[in-house]
Homo-oligomer: A and B are copies of this chain.
Amino acid sequence: MNTVYNFSAGPAVLPKSVLEKAQSELVNYENSGMSVMELSHRSSLFETIIQGAETLLRELMNIPDNYKVLFLQGGASLQFTMVPLNLAQNRKALYINTGSWSKKAISEAKKLGNIEVEVIASSEDKNFSYIPEVRKEDIPQDAAYLHITTNNTIEGTTFYELPDAGNVPIIADMSSNILSVDYNVADFGLIYAGAQKNIGPAGLTVVIIKDELIGQVDVLSSMLDYSVHAKNGSMYNTPPTYGVYMAKLVFEWIKEHGGVQKMEELNKAKAAMLYNEIDHSTLFSSPVTPKDRSINNIPFVTGSDELDKKFNQEAVKEGFENIKGHRSVGGMRASLYNAFPKEGVEALIQFMKKFEAENGGNK
């Protein structure tokens, strides 16, 4: 087998050492005679795992004590409903529309019927190629929250600076750059993230929520109620136990490798190499405004659908997996999460140079 580099936007590449550790103890965890998948979620062995995962995440993200950490299911998509259902019934909820996932969050909030949804800024006018400016005076201070998507996985943009929302809590879908860009948790009311990019396998959702936002109203389902999950330490029902275990291993790996600041530094370096190649190319270009460019998801195009297709076909043959752009936008996209190795970026750049030389680029 040749080396494979997995540029998938999620589920995505995991650290090799984490996978090897999971493999080594898959059948017999800590000499218990059982797999982690077979452990009762009420057993002391699993309680140590879930508490360990929480402790590590608190440490890595410097989560203040007045925030709860919840391990849930349903992905960001279920949070699109849970956030307004818990925080904004019969109130105003503000959204910044920065791409496909923001749009879904907005449309799910509207579906609930009793939320006054207001989109206060959007970059849809230019294909979501930038992050719109928001001034504090544009933010009604009676709103329940301001929702942003910190990193737009499909469009490749990132909020590096948060809007000044005054007293309105900022709610962030951080699915694609949690633990990869070093945000200050205290700046948010609630952060949520599907695990399948920088945390672990799909099927686990992390929610970090400020205590004062919990339990404000009645929620029509226990499973959709943050207060129920908070009260039960994420054990109201059986959590996705193996996902929590994998997340713990990934958190340990991040800690061993220097923490979130170090991750951001390494991710910036990987992304800079690729953006540099794109910006100096006569064939490839980035559709995104430079200052808002994501270090995690890097879309690029040749300007020709035919050449994009050819690139994608040849890339797969060379072991570059999942580099095809999202079906909604086309082109190419390199997702460079924490676990993506620098060598993969170097190999991609070599391949891009070769492709450019063979296909009309004159660098």
Give A contacts to B, CB under 8 Å: 1-4, 6, 8-14, 16, 19-20, 22-23, 26-28, 31-35, 37-43, 73-78, 80-81, 108, 111-113, 194, 196, 200-204, 220-224, 236-243, 246, 319, 321-322, 327
Contacts and interface: CB of A to CB of B under 8 A. Distances in A.
Contacts of A111: 220-222
B33 A77 contact: no
Nearest to A74: B73
23 contacts: A1-B31, A4-B32, A4-B34, A16-B27, A19-B26, A19-B35, A22-B26, A23-B27, A32-B321, A33-B321, A37-B200, A41-B202, A43-B321, A73-B78, A75-B238, A77-B222, A78-B221, A80-B222, A108-B221, A112-B220, A112-B221, A203-B241, A240-B240
Contacts of A9: 40
A154 to B, nearest CB: 13
Given A3-B33, A13-B38, A26-B26, A202 B81 contact: no
Contacts of A75: 73, 223, 237-238
Given A26-B26, A35-B19, A108-B221, A238 B12 contact: no
A238 B194 contact: yes
Nearest to A28: B1
Nearest to A326: B42
Contacts of A243: 203, 240, 242
A3 B27 CA distance: 13
A238 B10 contact: yes
Given A1-B31, A4-B33, A8-B40, 8 more contacts: A8-B43, A11-B39, A11-B238, A13-B38, A40-B322, A78-B223, A81-B221, A202-B241
Nearest to A218: B111
Which of A2, A11, A41 has the largest count of B CB atoms less than 10 A from its CB?
A11
Contacts of A35: 14, 19
Contacts of A77: 222-223, 236-237
A112 to B, nearest CB: 5
Given A11-B40, A322-B40, A202 B27 contact: no
Given A74-B74, A75-B238, A14 B33 contact: no
A29 to B, nearest CB: 11
A240 B202 contact: yes
Which of A10, A14, A38, A81 has the largest count of B CB atoms less than 10 A from its CB?
A38
A200 B242 CA distance: 11
Contacts of A223: 74-75, 77-78, 80-81, 108
A97 B362 CA distance: 75
Nearest to A23: B26
Which of A31, A32, A202, A204 has the largest count of B CB atoms less than 10 A from its CB?
A202
A14 B1 contact: no
B26 A38 contact: no
Contacts of A27: 16, 19-20, 23
Nearest to A32: B4
Given A28-B1, A223-B78, A6 B19 contact: no
A51 to B, nearest CB: 17
A241 B78 CA distance: 17
Contacts of A241: 11, 196, 201-203
A246 B200 CA distance: 16
Given A23-B23, A40-B9, A238-B10, A224 B81 contact: yes
